[in-house]
Amino acid sequence: MDFKDFSDLAAVDHLQQIAAAPCDLTRPGLLSADRFARYRLSSCGFDLLYATQRLDDTVLDGLQALADEAELVEKFRAMKKGAIMNRIEGYESEERQVLHTACRDIFGSRPDNPAAADQAKQQLALLQDFLRKLEEGTVVNHQGKSFTTMVQVGIGGSDLGPRALCLALAAYALPNRAVRFIANVDPDDAAAVLAGLDLSRTLVNVVSKSGTTLETLTNEQLVRAAYEKAGLDPAGHILAVTGQGSPMDDPERYLASFYMYDYIGGRYSATSMVGAVTLGFLLGYDPVLELLAGAHAMDQAAEEEDIRNNMPLLMALTGIWNHNFLGQPTLAILPYSQALIRFPAHLQQCDMESNGKFMTRQGNPVRWQTGPVVWGEPGTNGQHAFYQLLHQGTEIVPAEFIGFRHSQYGCDLEVEGTTSQQKLVANMLAQSLALALGRSHENPNRYFPGNRPNSILLADRLTPYSMGALLALYEHRIVFQGFCWNINSFDQEGVQLGKVLATRILVEIQRQDKEEAEPSADDSPEKNLLRQAAVSGRQ
């Protein structure tokens, strides 16, 4: 497969030229009904309204040329079929397939990668069986009582996606089911979660692909100790999701075990058993299938060549337009849905760990900007916090709004003529317009410059299906951008160095504890830092 440097693409040259005079959203009459109708795309239950991006047909044609020249859809198809996409040519690297789409390629008779789809089906069958036993009362606690809570212990990709999904869909929880999460090695995280629980009615799902993650293994021990202290046998309460052959791949130690595979990256693993077990406990099996169906629909929609009909590709390219050509360094993701409270955090990891890279797929330093800083919070809360900077700051922050026409619970009240849901959606639409249009004013303090690019994703309701589609939409947007920038979006070498140094510092802490001696004469930077920390602790 031919991966070319971004700056060598002819389409990039052309886009650079037209970026000198981007479309002026503040021009009277520009945001017409025609423009809103023209720059709108519907896919998998979502409408993408992008008339408030600084683009026109010339820009879209240029972005289409970029997608074609960089063969983005072709690469995406190759990824789904099982090409070794996770690699750096000529250097030691993970050398893996990238097959998170196989987790949901379970509905048709001709999956893109039959072997991976079969493994997904096998794991789903195990999960279905386990959830049925919980329902029927075959799997119960030592007193014959049902389990009411599941605590997922995991971190990074083994926490953020699953947590975001469970929070997003908690409105559909089975009666008497709740889930909690422990991620941080900060002992207060586990203590706070465990404090409020009846451990005898609680299952613990330890999730670690590698089975070696310090935080997760430490928290597993903490949880096991809590069970023993309560006079309960942890073996009857603890499940595992891990990679085949990992140190945690030891079914004897666990009440139930599920696998995820090395071709699924942590941050792309929410639709594997990493997310499905806890979500299945919370919602039941069928909603998990609906989530997978939504994601699968978006996986298929992402294969369309025409950028005007391919939502993830169009979002990837408008992101590149804002970032590489209009020079905007960050991206705000602003869901107008309380249920999506942790979705920006999941996307922050998925995007920044994937595309925060300065090395090409050939191991050369890049000569162009790669992934933006991604951040966000739900609206309308954000409006009362950081939107000041979005409207009048010196940093221009492209924004992606996500909203729903209907609430999940349908429990709403008309106050002063409108429901809360109507107020929520009205606020989202207003923010989009205000950012784009701005406002002229004789008082400079009340002047809004406008021309702040943004788009809106709108669906009827946040359900398992629409959540699946939304998750996959963002996964593919990130992957398309990585292909375009010629970087490997699937490894995470940048998180290793800190881990290595922390391990060395822990060894030194242990040594000092044991010897109760003064620090040695060793002059390594980590020991010097530790000495300084110890000295400041004594002051």
Residues classed as catalytic: 353, 384, 499
Residue number, 111 or 266, with CB nearest to ligand G6Q: 266
Using CB under 6 A, pick the residue from 216, 337, 383, 481 that binds ligand G6Q: 216
Q: Is residue 335 a contact residue for ligand G6Q (CB under 6 A)?
A: no
22, 62, 111, 157: residue in contact with ligand G6Q (rule CB under 6 A): 157
Q: Does 337 bind ligand G6Q (CB under 6 A)?
A: no
| Residue 495: how many other CB atoms lie within 10 Å | 10
In the complex, the smallest distance separating the C-beta of residue 348 from ligand G6Q, rounded to whole angstroms, is 11
Cα angle 489, 493, 497 (rounded to 5 degrees) comes to 155
Closer by beta carbon to ligand G6Q, 98 or else 425:
98
Neighbours of 435 (CB within 10 A): 25
Largest CA distance in the chain: 77
Q: Which of 472, 363, 479, 492 is nearest to 85 (CA)?
A: 479
Q: How far is the CB of 164 from ligand G6Q (least distance, A)?
A: 13
Q: Could you give the 3-state DSSP secondary structure of residue 204? A: strand
Q: Does 403 bind ligand G6Q (CB under 6 A)?
A: no
- The reply on whether position 427 binds ligand G6Q by CB under 6 A is no
Q: Does 380 bind ligand G6Q (CB under 6 A)?
A: no
Site stretch for ligand G6Q (CB under 6 A), options 96-104, 123-131, 264-272, 513-521? 264-272
Q: Which of residues 481-510 bind ligand G6Q (CB under 6 A)?
A: 492
E strands, 299-421, are 330-336, 373-375, 399-404, 414-415, 418-419
**Nearest approach, Cβ of residue 105 and ligand G6Q (Å):** 20
- For residues 449 to 488, the per-residue mask of contacts with ligand G6Q, x marking binding by CB under 6 A and - elsewhere, is ----------------------------------------
242 bridge partner residues? 208, 259
| DSSP output for 239-280 | EEEEETTSTT--GGGSSEEEEE-TTS-GGG-TTSHHHHHHHH
C-alpha 497/C-alpha 453 separation (Å) is: 36
**Candidates 131-139, 149-157, 183-191, 531-539 — which segment interacts with ligand G6Q by CB under 6 A?**
149-157
β-strand pairing of 399-404 with 373-375: unpaired
- Nearest approach, Cβ of 499 to ligand G6Q (angstroms)? 9
DSSP 145: P
Rounded Cα distance, 248 and 207, in Å: 9
Binding mask 224-263 for ligand G6Q (x = CB under 6 A): ----------------------------------------
Binding residue for ligand G6Q, selected from 290, 299, 351, 353, defined by CB under 6 A: 353
Distance CA 451, CA 390 (A): 11
Tell me which residues touch ligand G6Q (CB under 6 A): 155-158, 208-210, 213, 216, 265-267, 353, 492
